[in-house]
Amino acid sequence: MARDAAKNKPADRYPGVSVLIVAYESGEYLGQCLAALEAQSFQDFEIIMVDNASSDGAPQAAIETFPQVKLIVAGSNLGFAAGMNLAASQATGDWLALINPDAFAAPDWLDKLYAATQAHPSLKAFGCRQSMDDDSGRLDGMGDVMALAGIPFRGGYGQPDPGPVEAGETFSTCGGAMLIDRSVFQSLGGFDERLFCYCEDVDLGYRLRLAGMASWVVPDAVVRHVGSASSGGPRSDFAVFHGSRNRVWVFIKNTPPVLFWLTLPLHILATLVLFMRHAMRGELAAPLRGLKAALAGLPMILAARRETQAKRQVTSWEIAAAMTWNPLDLLRRRVVIHRPKP
């Protein structure tokens, strides 16, 4: 097991894993998150936590109970992307384990993820099974999926947990609970801080794929996730605004040229369908603000696109092959896991 390798590691060496947490108005969840980490069977890790100017005092209270946690006080709300980058800049582990403060890891979560790095040395990013905290029989997600229309979604979100699932490739990994090689994270420039939060993990996974590397989901590694606990929920104005804006930016920035022009009509159509669903719920103001912000940021994101595509190592076809072409997968939020050919 991975924990056995950790026990044989010399005491004066850096930890194998740096666990990173960005806390913002996390309340009682933060203590539960840290308690679950303390109970891990794999113990070769450090914990680095960034306080994004929380007003609830939860980070300060937490380190009184868990003094081993290294606390970084940001001084302002940097967002998830910049907060994680700040935490990563202080990490010493070979791997970075990202976990949300409202996610509670099963005791063997790190063990399973670290074991996957040993079993698949060519892979550099690993996701897991996320269950709904209030309903363990439903998924919060199992790998992020990218539809051919350039619309990302969390595979299986809100759907019944399918039970045992074979590990395999997903388009990207959810930043709420994942493991990534620290040197690869640094080489990619970390998260794009312009996104602030929402879709920043998809953007990172997309850039990983553009660099020729895949993401892998480990269904046996499990966390329970409350979800959007500090942002008012997945349908709050805050979440919908950032999601609507960032989906456009991620599509423009990362989609390779041939694929971009082939799928642009699909992306526009899918966006219209999403807006119609918002309108039917009486929630159109936030996505419209998000779209307006996305268009206002076009010069910036087009410059980012030129930089991103200049580093691309794969073809449009290779990216398209990692997507789902079935529109029902998007409509039903299905789990999509690709099994590499033997």
What confidence tens digit (pLDDT) does each residue in 248-269 have?
999 999 999 999 999 999 999 9
pLDDT in tens, 164-196: 999 999 999 999 999 999 999 999 999 999 999
Does 97 have pLDDT greater than 60? yes
Higher pLDDT, 68 or 342: 68
In a domain, 119, yes or no: no
In a domain, 43, yes or no: no
pLDDT of 2 higher than 90: no
Q: For residue 339, what pLDDT is reported?
A: 86
| One-character DSSP codes across 79-132 | HHHHHHHHHHHT--SSEEEEE-TTEEE-TTHHHHHHHHHHH-TT--EEEEEEEE
pLDDT (average), residues 5-28: 78
Classify residue 160 by burial, with Cβ atoms within 10 Å: 0-12, 13-18, 19+.
exposed
pTM (2 decimals)?
0.93
pLDDT band at 50 (very low <50, low <70, confident <90, very high): very high
DSSP strand pairing (17-23 vs 95-99): parallel
Is residue 232 very low, low, confident or very high in pLDDT (cuts 50, 70, 90)?
low
Q: Residue 4: which residues within 8 A CB-CB, separation 6 or more? A: none
The pLDDT score that the predictor gives to residue 143 is: 96
Q: Is residue 241 part of a domain?
A: yes
What average pLDDT does this structure show over 274-285? 91
Q: What is the DSSP string of 258-308?
A: HHHHHHHHHHHHHHHHHHHHHHHTT--HHHHHHHHHHHHTHHHHHHHHHHH
Confidence category of residue 8, pLDDT binned at 50, 70, 90 = very low
Q: Answer whether residue 249 is part of any domain.
A: yes
- Token pair of 292 as six digits: 């307006």
Residue 131 lies in a domain: no
Domain assignment present for 252: yes
Who contacts 177 (Cβ-Cβ below 8 Å, separation ≥6)? 98, 99, 100, 103, 105, 109, 127, 128, 130, 223, 225
If one counts the domains in the chain, the total is 1
Residue 228, pLDDT above cutoff 70:
no
For the CA atoms of the chain, what is the radius of gyration? 19
pLDDT at 341: 64
| Structural domain harbouring 310 | 237-317
CA 4 to CA 2: how far, in whole Å? Answer: 5
Provide the pLDDT for residue 287: 94
pLDDT score of 159 more than 80: yes
> Is pLDDT above 50 for 279?
yes
| Averaged pLDDT for residues 58-78 | 95
pLDDT class of 236 with cuts at 50, 70, 90: confident
100: number of CA atoms within 13 Å, CB side?
Answer: 27
Section 143-152 average pLDDT: 97
Is residue 261 included in any domain, yes or no? yes
Higher pLDDT, 234 or 154: 154
Query: Average pLDDT, whole number, for the chain?
Result: 93
The pLDDT of residue 337 is above 80? yes
Find, among 133, 131, 152, the residue nearest to 142 by Cα. 131
Residue 305 lies in a domain: yes
Q: What percent of the chain has pLDDT over 70?
A: 94
* Nearest alpha-carbon partner for 162 in 193, 186, 183, 138: 138
Report, as an integer, the average pLDDT of 112-135: 97
Percent of the chain whose predicted confidence (pLDDT) is above 90 = 91
Residue 171, both tokens: 């388009």
Query: Token digits for 26?
Result: 């996390």
Span 68-85, mean pLDDT? 96
